[in-house]
């Protein structure tokens, strides 16, 4: 490979003349933007323990009332990007949100897409585009781009959920903004029941929603059942994994980030090949290790970690008697749409 010239090779009056004209020589920086063989990600393997963050989140509940927060969230920031960037990866934002009994997070809508993975507590709900979605542990609730959403809580214990947004990308594109609005009128409840079984959808066509996001809540009880069913027939060593999709189109449930649930059978190890998208793994249930070439984490229930793209991941269920269940978010819909998606063989 060529040994490229550096900035120091250039006379300083020449460099100053370039700067005055808003010009930059490419060759000293070429390898930084086009590294050989594979990218050099800023995204590092990173891990957040729920046990460690929970008391800090509860403290936020005492220190900061909802009127001062709008959304009471501690952001899970990847140190590789710098904490102030509030990024888990290039395109993924993660936050743990707390809502206390009786509290209300006012209606707004924004350009970034969001989903919530419910971590703890009963009695909260989020209203999305007029549909009241109950929040129960392990449920996935979508708040896609442009849809009004607000959160309320009729229960008696704190409710916590994991927010996943494509905010870093939408912000980078200079397309991120929010609008505030009045409380929504609830027009429907429990739409997800119409899409209960993956093989059938409401018919005939003209009574179907024809909305871009027909299903907003994916109840964990249903997904867990489906994983247990799939585990019966899936050969050992093959992933027991279900994608959260749009049940009417069959494609990813959102445009930019992809979501799935993965089960490790008791004692099972699974190798996920190196792929271009970065991913976030959140353990819904069980105990598992997550290992890449650079790091190894042990996840307990409600723990979360992030792995950069282009690195293989080894998962290992640490229990020989109980399954482990992961919620996974990744950048694969984005990579596919951009023609950047890659799966690598063994590195």
Nearest to ligand GTQ of 110, 335 (CB atom) = 110
Instruction: Supply the DSSP string of 28-85, one letter for each residue.
Output: TTHHHHS-SSS---S---EEE-HHHHHHHHHHHHHHS-GGGTSS-EEE---GGG-GGG
Question: Shortest approach of ligand GTQ to residue 119 CB, angstroms?
Answer: 13
Between 85 and 318, whose beta carbon lies closer to ligand GTQ?
85
Q: Shortest approach of ligand GTQ to residue 118 CB, angstroms?
A: 12
Neighbouring CB atoms inside 10 A of 161's CB total: 26
Nearer to ligand GTQ (CB atom), residue 114 or residue 124: 114
Q: With respect to ligand GTQ, which residue has the nearer C-beta, 180 or 342?
A: 180
Identify whether the C-beta of residue 186 lies closer than 8 Å to the C-beta of residue 107. no
CA 177-180-183 angle, 5° bins: 145
Least separation in angstroms between residue 185's CB and ligand GTQ is: 19
Q: How far is the CB of 182 from ligand GTQ (least distance, A)?
A: 16
| DSSP line for 111-130 | SS-EEEEEEE-SSEEEEETT
Which is nearer to ligand GTQ, 142 or 272 (by Cβ)? 142
Residues in the chain: 347
Q: Which residues bind ligand GTQ (CB under 6 A)?
A: 71, 73, 95, 97, 110, 114, 149, 163, 165
**DSSP letter (8 states) at residue 183:** P
Q: Nearest distance from residue 99's CB to ligand GTQ, in Å?
A: 9
C-alpha 347/C-alpha 341 separation (Å) is: 17
| Residue 42 beta carbon to ligand GTQ: minimum distance, rounded to whole angstroms | 21
Q: Which is nearer to ligand GTQ, 74 or 284 (CB)?
A: 74
- We find the least distance from the C-beta atom of residue 77 to ligand GTQ, in angstroms, to be 12
- Interatomic CA distance for residues 77 and 80, integer angstroms: 9
Its sign, for the CA torsion 266, 53, 55, 138, is: negative
φ and ψ at residue 230, rounded to 5 degrees: -65, -35
Taking the least distance from each CB to ligand GTQ, the nearer of 240 and 257 is 257
């Amino acid at each position: 490979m060529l040994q490229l010239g550096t900035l120091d090779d250039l006379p300083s009056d020449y460099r100053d003349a370039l700067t005055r004209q808003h010009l930059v020589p490419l060759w000293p920086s070429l390898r930084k933007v086009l590294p050989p063989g594979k990218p050099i990600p800023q995204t590092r393997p990173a891990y957040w323990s729920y046990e460690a963050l929970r008391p800090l989140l509860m403290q936020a509940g005492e220190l900061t009332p909802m009127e001062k927060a709008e959304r009471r969230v501690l952001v899970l920031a990847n140190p590789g990007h710098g904490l102030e960037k509030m990024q888990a990866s290039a395109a993924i934002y993660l936050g743990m949100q707390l809502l206390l009994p009786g509290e209300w997070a006012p209606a707004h809508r924004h350009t970034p897409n969001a989903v919530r993975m419910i971590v703890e507590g009963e009695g909260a709900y989020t209203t999305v585009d007029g549909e009241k979605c109950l929040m129960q542990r392990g449920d996935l609730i979508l708040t896609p781009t442009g849809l009004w959403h607000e959160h309320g809580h009729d229960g008696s214990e704190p409710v916590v959920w994991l927010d996943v947004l494509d905010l870093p990308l939408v912000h980078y594109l200079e397309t991120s903004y929010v609008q505030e609005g009045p409380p929504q009128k609830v027009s429907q409840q429990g739409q997800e029941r119409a899409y209960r079984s993956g093989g059938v959808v409401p018919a005939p066509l003209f009574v179907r929603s024809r909305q871009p996001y027909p299903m907003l809540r994916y109840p964990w009880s249903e997904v867990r059942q489906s994983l247990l069913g799939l585990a019966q027939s899936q050969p050992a060593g093959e992933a027991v994994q279900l994608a959260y999709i749009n049940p009417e189109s069959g494609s990813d449930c959102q445009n930019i980030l992809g979501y799935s649930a993965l089960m490790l059978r008791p004692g099972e190890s699974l190798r996920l090949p190196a792929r271009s998208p970065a991913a976030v793994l959140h353990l819904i249930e069980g105990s598992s290790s997550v290992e890449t070439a650079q790091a190894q984490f042990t996840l307990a229930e409600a723990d979360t970690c992030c792995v950069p793209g282009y690195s293989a991941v080894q998962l290992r269920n640490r229990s020989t008697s109980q399954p482990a269940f992961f919620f996974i978010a990744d950048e694969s819909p984005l990579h596919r749409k951009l023609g950047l998606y890659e799966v690598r063989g063994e590195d």
